[in-house]
Amino acid sequence: MKVLVIGGGGREHALVWALRKSEQVTEILCAPGNGGIAQLARCIPVGPGNLHEMVNLVAVEQPNLTIVGPELPLSVGLVDELTKRGHRVFGPTQAAAKLETSKAFAKEFMQRHDIPTAAYALCTTLDEVREELTRFTVPVVVKASGLAAGKGVVICETHLQAEEAAAQMFSGVLLGTQETEVVIEEFLTGEELSFFALCDGTHAIEIASAQDHKRIGEGDTGPNTGGMGAYSTDGIATPAMRQWLLRNVAQRVVDGMNSKGSPFKGILFVGIMMTPRGPMVLEFNTRFGDPETEAILLRLETDILDLFNASIDGTANELIIRMRAGASVSIIAASGGYPVKYASGKPIAGLSASSSKDVVVFHSGTTIKDGQLVTAGGRVLAIAAVAPDLRGALDKAYAEIAKISFDGMQYRRDIGHRALE
Ligand code: AMP
Ligand code: GLY
């Protein structure tokens, strides 16, 4: 069977790597892919925002299955377009992906369906922001409603700062595009958890949970990034908590979207804050997380194709997802200057040719230039490892990353540390 993966980051490298292990898969294509994915799949230079070119690619290549990795192609309706043309595709429709692409939609949805989340106000003008802010204590959180690649959340220490952040979102100064809706949100504290469920329009089943490390600096300091590392362990959430999240968040999402006439199929990634008042949803994503996926897929024992098929065919309730016991981690090696300004095209040294079953170097932003592997993004590599416990997984991943170098390379040395303490 011929499979096409849309996207070109570490998450897609991990998806391609997992697909390679499936005996049912005979050929893998990836668009656009990257320097690492090119070793496992035929890469085709089609950008994940170009709907027309992606649809054309599928028409020409006729894959038996297309898997959509990032949010951008979901937001432009790739799943809808491919389904309309009779192609088999994994991921949510444009309407279902609104859970991620519109925070305004997600907050209203959560309120209507009794899903615990921070108190909020939705504002479309700066006057509304000023008025609503009087109801919130500080710190207060200001969020752009639309997709913002991790840059759309500002935690503000004063109302004035919140007003300024909102003004910059409306004017386009902050994100490059003018935001029409801004969400003001109560500030929550606690440990964060990324909970992943597989949904088939009717059922939600648990895949795994992980914890991302969003800030650039050790000890969770400095600006937010796309994610600098993640870990996943058996004990990251208690069985009772996992049951609760599945029932009171994921299944409610599936039921709620069903009743709206927009059944949710694909990956539901719930960002949760474990507050003293109980778990509260920070956000929904409607795709695999990056770098959580690199850590989680290392532990997946079930054929990943079975997950995609169950979601498309509405049979997730019959699927048992087996995860290897223990722990896994992913550590991002990023370009110097990321997440602000960074250079690309730096030669990468020290990648060992042989990847073991327990340590895999996934490529997030690399390309081949004149026969040489070079950096091509802010996040460059995701070094993932699995072991019977977290300490062991971290040791393996850090031993591997120590061999790798490129000009300006930076990584956090404290991934998973809070869990070790
Ligand atoms: P989001 O894109 O909504 O997940 O937000 C990105 C990050 O901002 C989260 O992972 C949290 O670390 C932080 N954040 C978002 N919302 C809140 C909130 N209401 N209170 C505290 N921190 C938040
Ligand atoms: N790890 C966060 C994200 O994928 O959005």
**Is residue 394 one of the residues assigned to a domain?**
yes
For residue 353, what pLDDT is reported?
65
**Is residue 141 one of the residues assigned to a domain?**
yes
CATH number for the domain spanning 335: value is 3.90.600.10
Query: Where are the extended beta strands (E) located within 57-127?
Result: 65-68, 89-90, 120-123
Single residue among 44, 71, 91 that ends a domain in this structure:
91
Query: From ligand 2's centre to the CA of 134, what distance in Å?
Result: 31
Give nearest CA residue, ligand 2 atom 5: 289
For residue 307, what pLDDT is reported?
98
Give the whole-angstrom CA distance, residue 100 versus residue 249. Answer: 15
Nearest ligand atom owner, CA of 284: 1
Nearest ligand atom owner, CA of 330: 2
Query: From ligand 1's centre to the CA of 153, what distance in Å?
Result: 7
**Is residue 397 one of the residues assigned to a domain?**
yes
309 in the same domain as 340: no
Q: Give the position of tokens 């990056």.
A: 290
Q: Spell out the residues 6+ positions from residue 225 whose beta carbon is closer than 8 angstroms to its own.
A: 150, 214, 215, 216, 332, 334, 338, 339, 378, 379
pLDDT beneath 50, residues of the chain: none
15 in the same domain as 134: no
Q: Residue 280 corresponds to which amino acid? A: M
CATH number for the domain spanning 56: value is 3.40.50.20
Number of domains in the chain: 4
For residue 86, what pLDDT is reported?
98
**Is residue 213 one of the residues assigned to a domain?**
yes
The whole-model pTM stands at 0.96
Does residue 292's CB lie within 6 angstroms of at least one atom of ligand 2?
Answer: yes
| Cβ atoms of 248 and 115 closer than 8 Å | yes
Q: Spell out the residues 6+ positions from residue 306 whose beta carbon is closer than 8 angstroms to its own.
A: 319
**Is residue 406 one of the residues assigned to a domain?**
yes
pLDDT in tens, 311-356: 999 999 999 999 999 999 999 999 999 999 999 999 999 997 656 7
Q: Give the position of tokens 């949805």.
A: 109
Element (H, E) at 182: strand 182-186
Does residue 212's CB lie within 6 angstroms of at least one atom of ligand 2?
Answer: yes
For residue 321, what pLDDT is reported?
97
Give the whole-angstrom CA distance, residue 308 versus residue 300. Answer: 13
Q: Spell out the residues 6+ positions from residue 34 whose beta carbon is closer than 8 angstroms to its own.
A: 8, 9, 12, 13, 43, 363, 364, 365, 366, 367, 376
Query: 149: exposed, middle or buried (C-beta count within 10 Å: 0-12, 13-18, 19+)?
Result: exposed
313 in the same domain as 195: yes
For residue 202, what pLDDT is reported?
98
pLDDT in tens, 68-100: 999 999 999 999 999 999 999 999 999 999 999
Give the whole-angstrom CA distance, residue 222 versus residue 414. Answer: 14
Give the whole-angstrom CA distance, residue 251 versus residue 231. Answer: 24
Domain of 20?
2-91
Q: Which residues line ligand 1 (CB under 6 A)?
A: 118, 141, 153, 155, 185-188, 192, 214, 271, 282-283
331 in the same domain as 415: yes
For residue 48, what pLDDT is reported?
87
Element (H, E) at 275: strand 265-275
Compute, in degrees rounded to 10, the torsion defined by CA atoms 46, 51, 53, 55.
110
Query: From ligand 2's centre to the CA of 281, what distance in Å?
Result: 14
Q: Return the number of other C-beta atoms located less than 10 Å from residue 243's C-beta.
A: 12
Nearest ligand atom owner, CA of 364: 2
User: Which atom of ligand 2 is nearest to 288's Cα?
Assistant: 4
**Is residue 56 one of the residues assigned to a domain?**
yes
151 in the same domain as 221: no
pLDDT in tens, 287-301: 999 999 999 999 999
Partnered with residue 94 across adjacent β-strands are none
Instruction: Say which DSSP state 277 is in.
Output: T
363 in the same domain as 408: yes
* Among candidate residues 216, 331, 192, 337, the one with its CA nearest the CA of residue 269: 192
For residue 330, what pLDDT is reported?
98
| Cβ atoms of 359 and 331 closer than 8 Å | no
Element (H, E) at 334: strand 327-334
331 in the same domain as 246: no
334 in the same domain as 305: no
303 in the same domain as 212: yes
Q: Return the number of other C-beta atoms located less than 10 Å from residue 44's C-beta.
A: 16
297 in the same domain as 359: no
Q: Per-residue DSSP letters for 239-263?
A: HHHHHHHIIIIIHHHHHHHHHTT--
**Is residue 333 one of the residues assigned to a domain?**
yes
